[in-house]
Structure 1
Amino acid sequence: MSDDLAANYARAYGGKVGFGERPALILIDFCHGYFAEDCDLFAGVDAALASALRVREAAHGAGVPVILTNVVYHPGGVDGGRFYEKALPLRYFQRGNPMGAFAAGLEPRPEEIIVSKQYPSAFFGTSLASTLTAMGRDSVLLTGLTTSGCVRASCVDAMSHGFRTAVVADACGDRHPGPHEANLFDMNAKYADVISEAETIAYLASLPR
């Protein structure tokens, strides 16, 4: 990012959303396929998962709800619509395919909520917004894969549903640095605050229990 670009955007998009008082942590689509070198989904995003797991521990320690999302399709992908037709690697998310399982280290805990989806956003066609509202949550912390896909889509929808939205940059990943950085830049400009793992953990530690 050039200084000219940063200055240009700062003039128009220099605002901050800030943290909410009652957040929820969402871990988006950390599935095995992104870590399996023989899978089309492979993205080499081990550092993002490690960061997300640390944030997850901090969230549990702060009493903050943790929500995991995954993508699950009926055999043949009949419930995936045009998204399934367009994005060929989605075939790995047909129910029962081991590539669609949660990544090692992210085995769901009994108290965690799992939201299964068929489209990029964790909110589209799911009960997530209603669940967060019913739980009295006013904000979300987003982590996950991929930054340019399901994280971005979930970010836009979270903001559109009225939740203060923060994207944890260290805990998101993509198959190439270019789309990753470009989408973090754009989300930070228009939809959310892009923050570091350290900022996130410090915020969670500051919450009253």
Structure 2
Amino acid sequence: MTTSDAQSNYAGVFGNRIGFGQRPALLLIDFVQAYFDPACDLFADVGEALASAIRVRNAARAAGIPVIYTNVVYHPSLVDGGRFMQKTPLLKHFVAGSPMGAWPDGLVPSLDELVISKQYPSAFFGTSLAATLTAAGVDSVILTGLSTSGCVRATCVDTSSHGFIPIVVADACGDRHAAPHEANLFDMNAKYADVVNEAEVLAHLAGLGD
């Protein structure tokens, strides 16, 4: 294993930029109350990611592109949690009806925006997301959400695997610690997605109607 810095080691091998597509959709992954309530075991300091995601969502609404939210919802018995629940028992906070699964202030979906409930990390696994995007003629997915190293990364890989261009908004993603956040942004940008900042995606959305 090389000891050179990652940027130098990956240069010329990984990190090719795809660019924005022509018909994007915005995906807001698992922005739910559990991550914003200090009394919850899943609390994380991700308020800035939420604020960024809300600004991106407002721009997406103005651009008239599809806006889709995901949450994690389990049967009261937790039987549908499988190995994910076995590995991460704190997912019990997402049993149906739990206040920890509610939307945080400022992120309540409008009536014409789709919410996809899932039981596993990827927003594509076991859901209708791929079919919904295909039917809508979407070619790229702007990804925001929590957590960067978990459900955002899993969804990013599946976005690419399903043939959509993944655009990850770094400012609008968050994690429990900076190290996994930065490492996963680096890896997604190297191998699966274009990782961009909020200003870049806002400029792109503003230009869609030109």
Q: TM-score range by the shorter chain?
A: over 0.9
Tell me the equivalent position of 1:10. Answer: 11
Instruction: Give 1:51-200 correspondences, 5 Å limit.
Output: 51-200=52-201
Residue 24 (str. 1) matches residue 25 (str. 2): yes
Structure 2 counterpart of 1:127, which letter? S
Question: Shift of the alpha carbon at 1:4?
Answer: 2.8
User: Unaligned stretches of 5+ in structure 2?
Assistant: none
Deviation sequence 1:122-166 (CA, Å, 0-9, x none): 000000000000001000000000000000000000000000110
Structure 2 counterpart of 1:178, which letter? A
Question: Shift of the alpha carbon at 1:105?
Answer: 1.0
User: Unaligned stretches of 5+ in structure 1?
Assistant: none
Question: Shift of the alpha carbon at 1:14?
Answer: 2.9
Question: Shift of the alpha carbon at 1:3?
Answer: 7.7
Question: Shift of the alpha carbon at 1:46?
Answer: 0.2
Dislocated runs of 4+, deviation >6 Å? none
Question: Shift of the alpha carbon at 1:208?
Answer: 2.4
Structure 1 counterpart of 2:78, which letter? G
Tell me the equivalent position of 2:207. Answer: 206
Matches of 2:4 and 2:100, distance apart in 1: 41
RMSD (Å), alpha carbons: 1.2
Deviation sequence 1:1-50 (CA, Å, 0-9, x none): x9832011112103111110000000000000000111111011000000
Question: Shift of the alpha carbon at 1:76?
Answer: 2.1
Matches of 1:62 and 1:203, distance apart in 2: 10
Question: Shift of the alpha carbon at 1:89?
Answer: 1.3
Q: State the TM-score, normalized to the length of structure 2.
A: 0.97
Q: State the TM-score, normalized to the length of structure 1.
A: 0.97
Matches of 2:109 and 2:96, distance apart in 1: 17
Matched residue SS, 2:195 = strand
Matches of 2:122 and 2:64, distance apart in 1: 25
Matches of 2:148 and 2:6, distance apart in 1: 21
Matches of 1:149 and 1:110, distance apart in 2: 28
Equivalent pairs, count = 208
